[in-house]
Amino acid sequence: MKSLTVSLVIAAPLLIWATVSLAASSTEEEDLAQVYGGEEMVSIATGTKQPVGKAPAVASVVTAADIKAMGATDLDEVLETVPGLHVSRSENGYNPWYTIRGINSGYNPQVLVLINGIPTTNTFVGDRNQVWGGMPVQAISRIEVVRGPGSALYGADAFAGVINIITKTKQDIEGTEVGGRVGSFDTYDGWALHGGEWAGFDVAASLEYHTSAGQKSIIESDLQSQLDQALGTHASLAPGPVNLSRDNLDARLDLSRDHWRFRGGLQHRGNHGNGVGVAQALDPLNRFGSDRWNADLTYQNAEFAENWEVTGQLSYLNASQIVERNLTLFPPGTQLPIGANGQIDFASPVALVAFPNGYIGNPENWERHARGNLSAIYRGFEYHTLRFGAGVNYDSIYKVRVSQNFGLDPETGSPIPFMPGVPLIDVSGTASTYLPTKDRKDFFFFVQDQWQFAKDWALTGGVRYDRYSDFGETVNPRAALVWETRYDLTTKFMYGSAFRAPSFSEQYILNNPATLGNANLKPETLDTIELAFDYRPLDKLRLGLNVFNYWWKDIIRYVPDSDAPSSTAQNTGTQTGYGGELEAEWKVLDTLRLAGNYSYQKSTDTTTHQDAGYAPHHQVYLRAQWEFLPDWQFTPQAKWIIDRDRAAGDNRQAVDDYTWVDLTLRRKNIHDHFEVAFSVRNLFDVDAREPSLAGNPAAAIPNDLPLAGRSFYGEIRVSF
């Protein structure tokens, strides 16, 4: 595989040289006509629509047509095609880690995911929800991705990158579509989309259902296996399959009229398996559930007054994490060292206690998010476009519930008895609760100026100020110089600053034998510089190249406590990284389109002076879309994940490289209304794995996290 990497590095400049040579035979008039004609637009770079090539950011756009052609069934399959972005997996439920340019930690809070411009971030651990369960793609119109910092516009967590998922409107649907899919692992999907008019409103509605038993790759050894070896017990359920069942329901409604738009949605998750176990010990019986309700109302008037465009928005999100079936942290028959507080204590145990029912704890929480903002664009100056705005965000964990068979009984103050048949003790609202109810307020304002100071030069500068009720204030500037070097070449030089807010668990979690919060945490910070080129030498060929360097400071990590078995969250350590991304899109023929990218990154933990680990140093992606007969489309795609080091202190061998190949065959316009498709995932059935966490003295899952083997999917859709 290393020989492939070397070949690609050598081939990249040769590809650019060959492209320049081909460009000599193309007339300038033809090139100019295409450069401005069919280019995708992106809005999250500045808050206004711009061509991707001229936006002051390194951005990618994936359209609904792209998603359909590649046969993607979930958001993660789409994001894996974006340069510099790798979708890894968490032990907990195999939740996705969107690793951009090697930046990643814990629950992956360093990437801001928006749905129609509104954050999906949960404050509990800073991710999209512990019961994420994936996101279907039928209702997605386009996905915009910015690699690099975005806090100058979007505030917290727009750190390593920003992903904006834009859902379909009436104009994207125009009629009704229903469809279904059947696939491996007892997977069944169904969906219905409708776009039309009602009582003077444009209406778009979608309903998507997904159920699956989940792939059953085997975990050879887990944390309980290590405990068994040390204590002479036989409680571990390993070797055993991962727990990845899912029952999902996604519903969305979009109503618009004149300058107003209302959106509402529900993401229901049930029967949600926990992957390899929350404590990295297999738990095949546990099931989680979640309901995420959202609503937003937007007023946008591009002609509010002369030279003024005004946008106002109110939004609300309510999210839950519930336990549908007991969360067994360690399986029945386990023996654990228990301290005086009734919890695990390896440092100073009172007794070695057997748990015939397993070590059970059921943490649940509910949170709400309310947001309001007002922004305006002023175009009254000849060479300037000003954008400024202000708003307030309110985040709250308003309910916490937990029951368990360990710890202290809040009524007696004594350890909970560990005997068969003893019911779980509800410790909600007591000193034994793992998390108190908390809220957070953020007041912010921002200003941005796009200054066309010369014919082919534009300077975008901006800054955002945030003041939080719990950890104080932060200021994040950005600057981007965009030079239209030639009619077919754009050069960009960019700087940006970003911050990541501490999650509520990092600040306030307590009564946890593993981790404790720290109310004095500061936000993580990031500074990034980038140089990017967008080159369109032919009317049907686009090349992009960028290089970057970043400095990540005040990283929040859990540091072992000297006088207790726990670790406490601290701002400690820094990480630096550099790399580059090369991408190409070429419409070879009217019936053949090629796309691909190559990404390289090198990230170093400056505390240990070793590689930060987990993220691939090299990624390669290639896709062809070939309409080999009228209404017949064949789309093969392949990705190579190459060279992943371990983190400092992890003595395992490097994670194996893998090559993943998918095929999709689609037949459109059957009797004008029908369409069928057939897909194969992991065509060659490779043993692909994502890295498990390092451990002390050894990793809990030593053989990493296995991905699904070869799988098959067939679908049919009807439009009318």
Domains of the chain: 2-719 (2.40.170.20)
Across 496-501, average pLDDT:
98
Specify the length of the chain in residues.
720
HEC per residue, 247-312: EEEEEEEEEEECCEEEEEEEEEEEEECCECCCCCCCCCCCEEEEEEEEEEEEEEEEEEECCEEEEE
Tokens for 275?
Answer: 């992957």
Q: Which residues is 25 bridged to in the sheet?
A: none
Alpha carbons 546 and 480: distance in angstroms, whole number: 14
DSSP helix/strand/coil, 230: helix
Tokens for 410?
Answer: 């809040």
Per-residue pLDDT at 402: 96
Tens digits of residue pLDDT in 346-385: 888 889 999 999 999 999 999 999 999 999 999 999 999 9
pLDDT value at 556 more than 60 = yes
Alpha carbons 670 and 718: distance in angstroms, whole number: 9
Q: Which residues is 583 bridged to in the sheet?
A: 544, 597
Per-residue pLDDT at 590: 95
Per-residue pLDDT at 421: 67
Q: Which residues contact 562 (CB under 8 A, 6 or more apart)?
A: none
* pTM, entire model: 0.93
DSSP helix/strand/coil, 6: helix
- Alpha helices (H) along 109-205: 151-154, 170-173
Q: What is the DSSP letter of 572?
A: -
Binned at pLDDT 50, 70 and 90, residue 8 comes out as very low
Tens digits of residue pLDDT in 144-155: 999 999 999 999
Tens digits of residue pLDDT in 18-40: 333 333 333 333 343 343 445 68
DSSP helix/strand/coil, 15: helix
Q: Residue 239: is the preceding peptide bond cis (ω within 30°)?
A: yes
From 160-174, 441-455, 503-517, the region with the lowest mean pLDDT = 503-517
Per-residue pLDDT at 16: 35
Pairing between β-strand 610-611 and β-strand 489-500 as defined by DSSP bridges: unpaired
Alpha carbons 315 and 630: distance in angstroms, whole number: 45
Alpha carbons 485 and 671: distance in angstroms, whole number: 49
Q: Which amino acid is at 698?
A: A
- Alpha helices (H) along 484-546: 504-508
Alpha carbons 499 and 149: distance in angstroms, whole number: 8
Tens digits of residue pLDDT in 578-605: 999 999 999 999 999 999 999 999 999 9
DSSP for 77-104 reads: HHHTTSTTEEEEE-TBTT-EEEEETTB-
Q: Which residues is 355 bridged to in the sheet?
A: 334
Binned at pLDDT 50, 70 and 90, residue 17 comes out as very low
Q: To 10 degrees, the CA torsion angle through 345, 351, 357, 363?
A: -30
Evaluate whether 487 touches 35 at the Cβ level (below 8 Å).
yes
Per-residue pLDDT at 413: 84
Average pLDDT of the chain to the nearest whole number: 92
Alpha carbons 317 and 531: distance in angstroms, whole number: 37
Pairing between β-strand 161-167 and β-strand 111-115 as defined by DSSP bridges: parallel
Tokens for 669?
Answer: 């316009």
In percent, the amount of the chain with pLDDT more than 70 equals: 94
DSSP for 351-387 reads: EEEEETT-EEEEEEEEEEEEEEEEEEEE--SSSEEEE
Tens digits of residue pLDDT in 279-329: 999 999 999 999 999 999 999 999 999 999 999 999 999 999 999 999 999
pLDDT value at 643 more than 90 = yes
Binned at pLDDT 50, 70 and 90, residue 563 comes out as confident
CA gyration radius, the chain: 26
Across 152-174, average pLDDT:
96
Cα–chain center distance at 84:
13
Per-residue pLDDT at 705: 98
Tokens for 707?
Answer: 């991905």
Across 85-113, average pLDDT:
95
Per-residue pLDDT at 582: 98
pLDDT value at 108 more than 50 = yes
